[in-house]
Chains A and B, each alone.
Chain A
């Protein structure tokens, strides 16, 4: 007489149970660009660090940057790292990877774009990476459910940029994401911590809508570098300290005092308005980039 397959059955039943409060995050999520539309869309002004908790080192590094750097063949295909997910204009596709025997989710994947690396969040309980491990462009992500919220921490990223104006992140930075679904709307909260360039965590929250018509690809077209400019061998475009010609551009356009434009943790808090009150007069009319434009959602780009 054959022994009843008791334990395989038990394993199957237990495996069919969803983890407590785990919910489905899969699908194509279109970004709503109703916040920071200019910065996320066509890009910020070259020197606009408003509300960024840059420390002196971060500010100095940012002011050396010129966008001409990314015309270098060596840098054209440098992807943005994972902290760029909420800072860029694009939505993302999210899907789960399952264990082949019991079907449990072991990882969540987020698609890349043509300028941001894909991201993987392991939720199978594996340990954090050693500090000596490599830094892949998308970083190393682990996560766990807190109620119906997926919390993920990304470490081991490469050095990169917060905004596309050179405000920097170091390879010591880490980012913590909370993925919160409310029906067909998802809030992604990110907290960037960088002991090298930031004096406080940089927290932003973004909104995405589930789309059945805007199918986002898991990966984007491969980047192929090419010669875009003529320059001397070995030349790396940059500004010398104190020589960035765009420092006053934001002040000229919007009358915002330069000390605010250069950012710092203080500029994030309401009390800072007191320092601005007697220095700021709104321009008589909007000088540039005034309208709603094409940046309602990532689907419209």
Chain B
């Protein structure tokens, strides 16, 4: 009797120890690969970013909803070179040069008030369209390599899912976030009044999804801009979007250097 009980207790103990060690083992990446090919980024998506989202402007209202006055750089950590460019801002000059879209590049576009439409272009590519400035961002997963060429407003974006640790045999996590790193940017503006970023800027973004109190999803996009040419430190902002049932508020407008 005692022997049976001891055996049973030992089995429970060993089972518990094995279970307790699981997260650490897999946190070190020592688990074997799952059978079959890995799921595509679309299939592996821990969160669903697709759909129409409207920006909700509760922050930096004066710098986003209207064009701020020339020279107003409040809260942007510009260095003297960046400040000089800001003070030289001339929207007529931008228009004449065909550069009305300087405030619609990747480091600023999610800050623009408007709607964004997120879709899967294919199994490895997420696409973000904006009605403000009628821009399209293309986020590439996997081993995508950018083609040579001139820098663009939206640059080259590499995306990856970041998910919590999961144990062997566990289903794919249904929480996590999207991380996107964008380079090869055409020089543009962080704000419409000429606050600049250079062509050497790097944009790192985190896309987080939360559920609001009313059950409606919210998307929060945190943008970190590193630009040694014009910024003293990493410039960090986060922009909030509310999920829309459809695209009924979709209102494509061209880039504007003034409004």
Binding site for B on A (CB under 8 A): 4, 6, 9-10, 13-14, 16-18, 20-21, 32-38, 50-52, 146-149, 151, 176, 178, 180, 182, 185, 187, 189, 191, 193, 201-207, 254, 256, 260, 267-273, 276-277, 280, 282-287, 289-293, 295-296
Contacts and interface: CB of A to CB of B under 8 A. Distances in A.
A283 B72 CA distance: 10
A249 to B, nearest CB: 13
Contacts of B198: none
17 contacts: A4-B6, A20-B23, A21-B165, A34-B76, A35-B237, A36-B75, A50-B65, A182-B179, A187-B206, A189-B218, A191-B218, A202-B58, A254-B69, A268-B57, A273-B65, A286-B68, A289-B74
B13 A51 contact: no
A113 to B, nearest CB: 20
Given A52-B58, A286-B72, 18 more contacts: A14-B20, A34-B75, A34-B235, A35-B75, A36-B75, A51-B57, A182-B177, A185-B222, A189-B208, A189-B238, A191-B213, A193-B213, A201-B214, A268-B56, A270-B65, A282-B69, A285-B69, A296-B233
B75 A37 contact: yes
B88 interface: no
Contacts of A273: 65-66, 113
B220 to A, nearest CB: 5
- Chain B: number of interface residues, binned into ranges: 35 or more
B113 A205 contact: no
A162 B113 CA distance: 23
Interface string B210-248: 101110001010101000000011011111101000000
B218 A272 contact: no
B62 A282 contact: no
A10 B75 contact: no
B105 interface: no
A114 to B, nearest CB: 22
Nearest to B6: A4
Contacts of B240: 189, 203-205
B164 A36 contact: no
A292 B175 contact: no
Interface string B199-213: 000000010101011
Nearest to A33: B75
Given A13-B17, A17-B20, A296-B77, A50 B62 contact: yes
Contacts of B208: 149, 178, 180, 187, 189
A205 B70 contact: no
Contact of A14 (B16, B68, B164): B16
A270 to B, nearest CB: 4
Contacts of A202: 58
A289 B75 CA distance: 10
Nearest to B214: A201
B57 A4 contact: no
Q: Which 8 A-B pairs have the closest CB atoms?
A: A147-B175, A37-B75, A270-B113, A21-B164, A286-B72, A50-B61, A205-B238, A51-B61
B134 to A, nearest CB: 14
A292 B73 CA distance: 6
A201 B240 CA distance: 13
Nearest to B176: A147
A180 B242 CA distance: 18
A287 B68 CA distance: 11
A17 B167 CA distance: 13
Contacts of A33: 75
Contact of A293 (B61, B66, B74): B74
B71 A285 contact: yes
Contact of B210 (A21, A32, A52, A189): A189
